[in-house]
Amino acid sequence: MPTTPTVHFEAASTLAVVVSSNEPLLFLSEDLKVIAASASFCRAFEIDPATVPGRRLSELGNGEWAMPKLASLLKATASGSAHIEAYQIDLMRPNQKTRHLVVNARTLDDGDIDHVRLLLAVADVTDARAEARLKDDLIRDKAILLQEVQHRVANSLQIIASVLMQSARRVQSAEARGHLHDAHHRVMSIAALQRQLSTSAGGNVELRAYLTQLCQSLGASMIAAPDRLSIQVTVDDSAVEADVSVSLGLIVTELVINALKHAFPDERMGRIAIDYRSSGNDWTLTVTDNGIGMPTGTDAPKAGLGTGIVEALSRNLQAEIRLSDAAPGAAVTITHVEGAELSADLSTAA
Amino acid sequence: MKNGKAVVLVVEDSAIIRMSAVDLVRSAGYEGLEAQDADEAIRILESRSDIDLVFTDVQMPGTMDGIKLSHYIRDRWPPVKLLVASGNAILEESSLPGGSRFFSKPYDDHAITDAMARLLAGGTSDGSAG
């Protein structure tokens, strides 16, 4: 059985462990001859296992393992003066791509101090590194793409907003102008949400920041005398899904537009308060004004588009709408109670 | 100033936004000029000396974006007021020349005309723009 020219014989169990190692492994003598190579090593680096035993490390394959730096490090390891830990080398073979290797070497500690032998573990990290780089590239691409999309959305909303406002400046009819302004407010409401989403990390929207920004935007475009009319926003720390926040934002938009239009005639002073609070999955949104109150009965105006929007969105959120007298003024309360029966119907015009 | 009206140059590559912005400028009582990119804006600024304010987009094709353009204008024509709008919600305010105003898109028309009036009023002590 001993066909190798070495005078020292290794324990069969040691050789078996080396050969069956899952990690590419070389078992070397002190003068860097290969005693055994793992099957995984031969497979990974395309070396015929039959040619391995007794050959010098520098003679393996087509001589691609003849790397002076590796040889000197292995010799230093054998003499006990150095350790190779995660040493990086490039394996270059003709007509093949360079492979990036991480090698670890240590002396075998089997109690036989007269015979120094080395274990050299070789990990090919080429694919793992390429994969990591690809992943980094993908993450960066995604961030760039997302920014590009947000930018495009903002620009598209700007086109819509611009056209609506330009039309509003052109039309003669005050009623038509009012409708165009309302449409513009609705677009800006969606835009405020878009802005909030683009600055938030996850898909959730922090309601306080969103509704505050929304009401600032509504106030800036609808309130000509800020010392006469004000909008106050009180929201707890709730963060909700983007879909839900769109609905809440549009509801607030409609109710605030409605209050600003109807609650404070004749230069009346006033305040609109938006309040949102949640407890578990239940929440309540209240929009209160201290204006003239909502007309009822035959004085009540016909329900408009705003009312339809508030009703439809509330129904969608499985929430109930309640109108009440805030004395002075009016309050609209929209409540979602998990599993409750619904009657989303706003009988007075909003 | 031209015939007592402040002159505002709108720089925007999107034709519809540019058209509406010029319309907004004119409806606010100013003289409105338009350019579709920074290079055209610079040519217009070189060709006339009555421009009081430049209202520019940030992301535009051409040799300069709106931020570079604002710095270029501040260096070459220091009295010209600057108003910048971008589709990016967050823009480093510090990346713009001092004294310029920034708005994210979509901007509110009233906020823009309001900012224009303030910038133009800040031009000289008597409240009219230089």
Residue B130: inside a domain: no
A213: Cα within 13 Å, side-chain hemisphere: 23
Residue B2: inside a domain: no
Angstrom CA distances, A189 to A94, A243, A256, B108, B115, stand at 64, 13, 11, 11, 21
Do A184 and A176 touch, CB atoms closer than 8 A? no
**pLDDT number for residue A339:** 78
Residue B93, pLDDT > 80, answer no
* Tokens 């069956």 -> residue: A20
Enumerate the domain spans of chain A. 12-124, 130-336
Do A219 and A226 touch, CB atoms closer than 8 A? yes
**pLDDT number for residue A12:** 86
The β-bridge partners of A90 are A100
- Give yes or no for A216 touching B (CB within 8 A): no
Query: Comparing A339 with B53, which gets the higher pLDDT?
Result: B53
Instruction: Say how far apart CA A97 and CA A102 lie, in whole Å.
Output: 16
**pLDDT number for residue A346:** 57
**A200-248: per-residue pLDDT in tens?**
767 788 999 999 989 988 888 788 888 899 999 999 999 998 889 989 9
**pLDDT number for residue A80:** 84
pLDDT tier at A305, thresholds 50, 70, 90:
confident
Residue A303, pLDDT > 70, answer no
Distance from CA of A170 to the nearest CA of B (A): 10
Residue A65's H or E segment, with its range, is none
Number of domains in chain B: 1
Distance from CA of B28 to the nearest CA of A (A): 11
Residue contact A158–B108, C-beta within 8 A = no
**pLDDT number for residue B6:** 96
Which residues does chain A have within 8 Å of residue B26's beta carbon, measured at their own beta carbons? none
* Tokens 């009540």 -> residue: A300
> What CATH architecture is A130-336?
2-Layer Sandwich (3.30)
Residue B126: inside a domain: no
DSSP symbol at B2: B
**A319-331: per-residue pLDDT in tens?**
999 999 888 899 9
Least confident of A40-54, A191-205, B20-34, B110-124: A191-205
CATH code, B89: 3.40.50.2300
Residue B119, pLDDT > 70, answer yes
Instruction: Say how far apart CA A156 and CA A350 lie, in whole Å.
Output: 29
If contacts are CB pairs under 8 Å, which of residues 184-203 in chain A contact chain B? 187-188, 191, 195, 198-199
Instruction: Say how far apart CA A50 and CA A54 lie, in whole Å.
Output: 10
- Please give the class, per CATH, of domain A12-124: alpha beta
ipTM field: 0.86
**pLDDT number for residue A121:** 94
**pLDDT number for residue A341:** 64
**pLDDT number for residue A348:** 47
**A160-186: per-residue pLDDT in tens?**
999 999 999 999 999 999 999 999 988
Residue A98, pLDDT > 50, answer yes
Instruction: Say how far apart CA A66 and CA A34 lie, in whole Å.
Output: 13
- Give yes or no for A162 touching B (CB within 8 A): yes
**pLDDT number for residue B1:** 80
**B9-46: per-residue pLDDT in tens?**
999 999 999 999 999 999 999 999 999 999 999 999 99
Residue B75, pLDDT > 70, answer yes
Range of the domain at B92: 7-121
Closest Cα to residue A14, out of A111, A79, A80?
A111
Instruction: Say how far apart CA A40 and CA A105 lie, in whole Å.
Output: 17
- Residue B85 phi/psi, 5-degree rounding, is -125, 140
Residue B129: inside a domain: no
Which residues does chain A have within 8 Å of residue B18's beta carbon, measured at their own beta carbons? none
Do A346 and A222 touch, CB atoms closer than 8 A? no
* Tokens 């009219």 -> residue: B128
Residue B107, pLDDT > 50, answer yes
Residue contact A188–B105, C-beta within 8 A = no
